[in-house]
């Protein structure tokens, strides 16, 4: 049976306080973030943490609902070319968020994962839950407090080790 989850990121300013979240249902979800990161970093981290949290179910197909074309295109189209070019884009510039993308690439090995784009803020129940959790995490960091990390996933045992306290380096903006 296919496991379906929504993943989303949020940043209050870009960069700014940022959050990420994934949601399977109202009882299985996780969130985190950083005091300063970008929306794209949050979007990528949501998918990465989802993959790591479901690693104990790696034999089960995973269907990820995502409102980020950047994440979907990065993973399904652009990554093979970036890797061939030494993590450089077509214009020769370094790929932003390489650290998260490399971790995503490794987490996808041996997994059957499909991505579906859903329009953000359009009432899709799982996407709205993920968006709410990601924004709540960003808001918590903005207020100087730890976000509600959520219960995780049933049957996973202890949560996987994902460094959510230290943000990935912000992308070079110039």
* Catalytic residue positions, numbered: 8-9, 43, 67, 121, 131
Burial (CB < 10 A; 0-12, 13-18, 19+), residue 78, is middle
Phi-psi region of 157 (alpha: psi -120 to 50; beta: other; left: phi over 0): left
Burial 124-152 (b: 16+ CB within 10 A, else e): bebbbbbbbbbbbbbbbbbeeeebebbeb
Burial 41-69 (b: 16+ CB within 10 A, else e): bbbbbbbbbbbbbbeeeeeeebebbbbbe
- Secondary structure element (H or E) that encloses residue 11, with its range: strand 3-11
Report phi then psi at 96, rounded to 5. Answer: -70, 150
């Amino acid at each position: 049976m296919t496991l379906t989850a929504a993943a989303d990121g949020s940043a209050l300013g870009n960069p700014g306080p940022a959050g990420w979240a994934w949601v399977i249902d109202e009882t299985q979800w996780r969130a985190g973030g950083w005091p300063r990161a970008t929306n794209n970093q949050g979007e990528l981290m949501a998918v990465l943490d989802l993959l790591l949290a479901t690693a104990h179910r790696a034999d089960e197909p995973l269907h990820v609902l995502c409102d980020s074309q950047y994440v979907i295109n990065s993973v399904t189209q652009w990554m093979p070319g970036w890797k061939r070019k030494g993590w450089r884009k077509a214009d020769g510039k370094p790929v932003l968020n390489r650290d998260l993308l490399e971790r995503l690439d490794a987490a996808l090995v041996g997994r059957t994962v499909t991505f579906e784009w859903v329009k953000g803020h359009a009432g899709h129940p799982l996407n709205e839950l993920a968006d709410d959790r990601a924004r709540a995490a960003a808001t918590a960091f903005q207020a100087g407090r730890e976000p509600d990390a959520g219960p995780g996933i049933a049957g996973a045992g202890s949560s996987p080790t994902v460094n959510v306290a230290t943000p990935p380096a912000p992308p070079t903006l110039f």
